[in-house]
Amino acid sequence: MMLTQIAKGGQIAIASFIANTLVGVFELGFGLYFGSLALSADGVHSFVDAIVSLTVWLGIRYSQRRADGKFHYGYYKFDAIFSLFAAIIMVASGVIISYIGLTGYLTSSSHHAISVYASVIAGISIGIAVFLAVGKNQYAKKSGLVSLKTDAYNSIKDAAASIIALVGIAATWFGFYGLDSLAGLVIGGFVVVAGYFSVHSSTLILADAYNNPEMLETIKRIATSVPGIQSIDDLRVRRSGPYLAVEMHIRVDGNITVFEADRISKEVTLRMREGILSLGRVTVKPEPVQTASHPARQ
C-alpha cells in the first residue's frame, strides 16, 4: 500500500511538470505579447515550478531503488537531495525575477493598460495551482514524501504569485501602470523566500534532524503497550525518504531468557508497523532493568 501511494505521488509530480510547462508557455508568451512584466514573470515562475516538479519526480524514482552493495541503507535520501536541488533553483530564479521586476519598475517607459485576456490567463493559472497543491498535499501526507510536500508548498506559492500578477495587471486598468512591474518584483521576492524555507527543510532532513513530538509520543505509546517492557531509553528517529528510521533501547526484566527478549523486540516492531504507515527500518535493542542473579564467587 505504501509503495502504491509513493508511485501515485510520482504520477502527480510528473502531471504537475506537464501542467506547469503548459501554463508557463501561455503566461510567458502572452505576457510578452501584451507587454505585461507581471504575467511574464509568473510565466518564468511556472517554468521553474515545472523544473521543481521534474526533480521531485526524479527524487521519488531514486528513493524507491533497493539497497545494494554501495548504498547499504537504500536510496531514500535522494528524495531530500533532489528536493534541495529544486529549492536552490527556486532561490536563483527568484533573484533573477526580482532583478527584472525592479529594473522594469525603475526604468519603465511604457504606460498602457494590460489586456483583460492577460488577467484571464492569470486566473486560470491560479485555479491550476490550487488544484495541484491540494492533490500533492493529500498524497504527501499519505506517502510521507518530503519532496512532494515541498512541491505542494511550491504550488501554493505559485497560486499566490499568480494572484499578485492578477492584481498588478488589473491595476493598469486604473492608470497604475508601474504596478505591473512591481508585481513582477514581488513575485520574485516571494519565490526567494519560499525557496529559502525549502532549502532549510531539506538540509535538516539530510542532517538527520527530526522534530515531531507527536510522532515520538506515538512511538513510545505503542512500544510501552507491549507486555514485558518497563521503559524506553535512547529513542532516535530520522527521516529516510518517505520512511521513518527508528532506533530505541527497551528496558526488560534482566532475568528473562534471550529468546523472550527477542520475542518482545519483534512484538514491538510488529505493533509499530501496524500503527505507523511510514515506518521503515526499526532497530530495537533490549537491555535489562537489573542484571540476572548469580551466586557469589568464592
Dihedral angle, C-alpha 82, 88, 89, 90, nearest 10 °: 110
C-alpha cell at 218: 506515538
Residue-wise pLDDT tens digits, 22-64: 988 988 888 888 888 788 888 888 887 888 788 778 777 776 7
Residue-wise pLDDT tens digits, 91-148: 888 888 888 888 877 775 555 667 788 888 889 989 988 888 888 887 777 666 666 7
The mean pLDDT value for 274-278 works out to 78
Of these ranges, 78-87, 134-143, 256-265, the one predicted with the greatest mean pLDDT is 256-265
Q: Pick from 138, 162, 152: which is nearest to 194 by CA? A: 152
* Cβ–Cβ < 8 Å for 148, 132: no
Higher per-residue pLDDT: 41 or 236: 236
The mean pLDDT value for 8-22 works out to 84
At residue 251, the pLDDT reads: 92
**pTM (2 d.p.):** 0.68
d(CA 97, CA 243): 36
Supply the mean pLDDT for the chain.
Answer: 81
Higher per-residue pLDDT: 242 or 298: 242
Between helix 116-143 and helix 37-63 the angle, nearest 10°, is: 20
At residue 4, the pLDDT reads: 63
At residue 111, the pLDDT reads: 58
| Structural domains of the chain, with CATH | 2-206 (1.20.1510.10), 213-288 (3.30.70.1350)
d(CA 220, CA 213): 11
C-alpha cell at 235: 529513542
At residue 242, the pLDDT reads: 66
- Judged by DSSP in three states, 289 sits in coil
Chain centroid offset of residue 62 CA: 15
Higher per-residue pLDDT: 213 or 146: 213
At residue 63, the pLDDT reads: 66
The pLDDT of residue 79 is above 80: no
The pLDDT of residue 292 is above 50: no
Residue-wise pLDDT tens digits, 157-202: 788 888 988 888 888 888 787 888 888 888 888 778 877 877 887 8
Residue-wise pLDDT tens digits, 239-258: 876 678 899 999 999 889 99
The pLDDT of residue 291 is above 60: no
At residue 297, the pLDDT reads: 42
Residue 72, exposed/middle/buried by CB under 10 A (0-12, 13-18, 19+)? exposed
